[in-house]
Amino acid sequence: MPNIIYTKVDEAPELASASLLPIIQKFAAAADVSVGTKDISLSGRILAAFPEHLNEDQRQADDLAELGRLVKTAEANVIKLPNISASVPQLVSAIKELQSQGFAIPDYPENPKTDDEKAARAKYDAIKGSAVNPVLREGNSDRRAAKAVKNFAKANPHRMGDWSADSRTHVSSMSGHDFFSNETSATLGAATGARIVLETASGETVLKEGLEYPAGTVVDATYMSVAALKDFLAAEIDKTREQGILFSLHLKATMMKVSDPIIFGHAVRAFLAPVFDKHGDAMAALGVNPNSGLGDLLARVRDNAAIIADIDACMAARPPLYMVDSDKGITNLHVSSDVIIDASMPALIRAGGKGWGPDGSEADANCVIPDQSYASIYDEAITFFKENGKLNPATAGTVQNIGLMAQKAEEYGSHPTTFEIAEAGTVKMILDDGTVLHQHAVEAGDIWRSSSARQAPIEDWVNLAISRQEAEGCEAIFWLDAARAHDAELIAYVKPILEARGVADRFRIMAPREATRASLETITRGENSIAVTGNVLRDYLTDLFPILELATSAKMLSIVKLMNGGGLFETGAGGSAPKHVQQLNEQNHLRWDSLGEFCALGESLIFLANAKGNEKARVLGNAVEKATQGILDHDRSPSRKVGEPDNRDSHYWFARYWAEALAAQDDDAGLAAHFAPIAEALAAGEARILSELAAVQGRTAELGGYYRPDAARTAAVMRPSETLNAIIGNPA
């Protein structure tokens, strides 16, 4: 097993890896550090699931499962880049591409009937959504802006949109009958198995069995009323039209891969309600599934003039939609994975509450977030900025995050226990001894789910928060709502640990709305705060605050201290940036910023030095920090515009600064001697290298695939400088 595993992923970060990874492997080898790869890309996971459909030379090992075993050991040292958490449309597109490349995998069965189709659907359902993170995250999250990144952001503040006190932008959520209001929660006193059943007038249906929970696990259950959801969506569409602002829907249809695509589908149906009322049967015959979005719907009905005419008439009578791409007519409702709440809401808030409308102009928006659970953080942030004006990045403090996520904690672990109810009745979670732990009366179409958090991850999370607060000495807040059933159970864990450790006076426990305001007040004063949160809030806040503070969440330092002693180093938030790939295809310019990878690499090398006593790795890690500082100090990050320096240029500068730092250090004379000629060659070749990198821009780039690009073509695109390649060499 290599000393460090660098994950093979998707889209922009994977393209960047084709340029950066050879540099990393070249430098690491000098310190006797091996850097290998494991494929957790969407295409790789699909191929690994269907070996029986492939030729011997096409088969792919299940690298995700192998990494899942590794992260449970002290040997783990994994650098994890962002991967696609696939929606159904993305999954279907990836399947079609792989089939076109000669992989005889089965189609995605929308309505499986045969045993083979049901088996294929089960495999595909295990791949979609947040299939990677719950497997790898065997520890809790420590996310923060590296000091060099934060200092650069303060010295070079990004543009913020102006807020107006009379802005009509606001958040709308259900007032009841949602996941938040229907939640029940309990902490198990003993280890037990459980099953989930639906009792109806026609009998009992087992929804899930074989569940196992250790003692001390917090187990939740809740549901969303589809009738209440429909009423809410219809009312918000009408209100938005009356207000004359944009209608925008904000969900997490990738991570929450069962519940949120269903909610998204109800929104599509509500927005086109007159069309579905009139043409529902005809659209169903054409294969229309509103969960797949407006884009898929339009493609299926494009040859039916009557339906298209009624869609056009309906859209004209509806409020204007928040747009993903106004120029291309791609709306908020086109694809469920296009508008992801943790990225879309911070971007709108950073822009002064403005979203893009169909006319290509900015406008105020109704931000529709159906479930109340975490909507309050965005509602309070909007209220705060209306009252106080925009945040000043030049003077703002920072919000760090300690997130509970180990062992599939909380909602992100709920995929196997989330169900769309087929028939009215009562859902019960029944323990092995017959105890009914949770029960809810439900109607057909309601969405029921259960999630859990185990005792060991909860205790580790609290202790990690204590360690970070001691290290930082700043404000620290547990974002827990005593009025929410689940949070009340967590508070029962948190308070005794804080008291036993003698640090209760260093922490506050606040509901998310109040914690949002307190944190914004803190960073407005230029001070720092630590947000100690559950899993979903971890994801939301590590986009919200970095986008406000740094303009991006991709530059966050993200360390997962695995519970069995290993290390997982994530390259920040921000997703896998499909628009960056589009620009590369059209202009051969990749604006992906690898700063997150640089930060993760430095931490990984230092961790390796501490774990294995490899002092050469420590020298490399310290030099990475200097190289990262050099990137920031000399403004070597990629530009967004074609014809200006891009991701490949930044990798040249990173390699150069890294080599120069290693040549200049005096902790290891052998490494200094080894890297001195490399540093000299990189400096001497500057003009030629930059010229070779610039020469390829402004033309199309052919990668041979989107989800599974051809390795040779990708290398040719991402390593176009023969001069640089001669110095770095080929990947190990």
Judge whether residue 590 has pLDDT over 70: yes
Contact 199, 423 (CB under 8 A): no
> Averaged over 676-692, what is the pLDDT?
98
Judge whether residue 732 has pLDDT over 70: no
- Residue 109 to residue 111: CA distance in whole angstroms: 5
Please state, rounded to an integer, the average pLDDT across all residues of the chain: 95
The HSE-up count of residue 594 (CA atoms within 13 Å, CB side) is 33
- Residue 573 to residue 550: CA distance in whole angstroms: 12
Between residues 658 and 146, the one the model is more confident about: 658
Q: What is the pLDDT of residue 557?
A: 85
Which residues are within 8 A (CB) of 498 and not within 5 positions of it... i.e. 6 or more apart? 462, 466, 504, 506, 507
Q: What is the pLDDT of residue 284?
A: 96
For every residue of 572-590, DSSP letters joined together read -SS---HHHHHHHHHHS--
* Residue from 297, 293, 322, 292 nearest 308 by CA: 297
* Residue from 234, 235, 236, 221 nearest 179 by CA: 221
Q: What is the pLDDT of residue 554?
A: 78
- Residue 310 to residue 282: CA distance in whole angstroms: 13
Q: If pLDDT is split at 50, 70 and 90, which confidence band does 257 have?
A: confident
Q: If pLDDT is split at 50, 70 and 90, which confidence band does 1 have?
A: confident
Q: What is the pLDDT of residue 130?
A: 78
Q: What is the pLDDT of residue 254?
A: 82
Q: 209: part of which helix (H) or strand (E)?
A: strand 203-213
Mind listing the pLDDT tens digit for each residue in 479-500? 999 999 999 999 999 999 999 9
Q: If pLDDT is split at 50, 70 and 90, which confidence band does 414 have?
A: confident
> Averaged over 520-534, what is the pLDDT?
98
Q: How far is CA 685 from CA 243, 388, 418, 689, in A?
A: 60, 51, 57, 6
